[in-house]
Amino acid sequence: MKYYFAMSIKRLLRAPTALIFNLVYPVFIVVVDGALSGHHMVDGKSWMNYNISAVIATGLIPMACIAFSMYAARQIGNGSVSRLNYFGVKTRWLMLADLLAQIVCATMGIALAMIVGWLWFKLKAPGAGYFFAYILQI
């Protein structure tokens, strides 16, 4: 499984759609939403503190709907999964490793977007426990 996961990460980072939708797009959405909403204050906190989860979820919807499904469909469509299965590769583990690689890259994108929000918009995150609970909800 560890070998499949390392191979999946390597293949994922070669695909430009995965890099754009996993890492760049959530940061872009945070920057655009933060720039458009300005620095409104609600109860002494920036508006971005209340809006960050919705903004990051908006950035992750294309990843969930486009990036992984397109990647899996392309593998199935061009017959590479059946060829790998013919040569003895456990394609079930390979697909699971691909899914875990997408989740890891999406988590990196969320963390990067929150760091950008913290640096530019003075985002105050409540703690690591809330961050991991948010990741589990997605």
For residue 28, being part of any structural domain is answered with: yes
Q: Compute φ and ψ for 42, nearest 5 degrees.
A: -130, 115
For residue 104, being part of any structural domain is answered with: yes
pLDDT band per the 50, 70, 90 thresholds, residue 136: confident
For residue 124, being part of any structural domain is answered with: yes
For residue 50, being part of any structural domain is answered with: yes
For residue 39, being part of any structural domain is answered with: no
The pLDDT of residue 20 is 82
Q: How many domains does the chain have?
A: 1
For residue 113, being part of any structural domain is answered with: yes
User: What percent of the chain is predicted at pLDDT more than 90?
Assistant: 0
Please name the residues in contact with 73: beta carbons below 8 A apart, sequence gap of 6 or more.
Answer: none
Checking if the pLDDT of 38 tops 70, the result is no
The pLDDT of residue 126 is 67
Q: What is the pLDDT of residues 40-58, one digit of tens each?
A: 777 777 777 777 777 778 7
The answer to whether the beta carbons of residues 105 and 22 sit under 8 Å apart is: yes
- Give residue 13's domain range: 2-33+44-137
For residue 38, being part of any structural domain is answered with: no
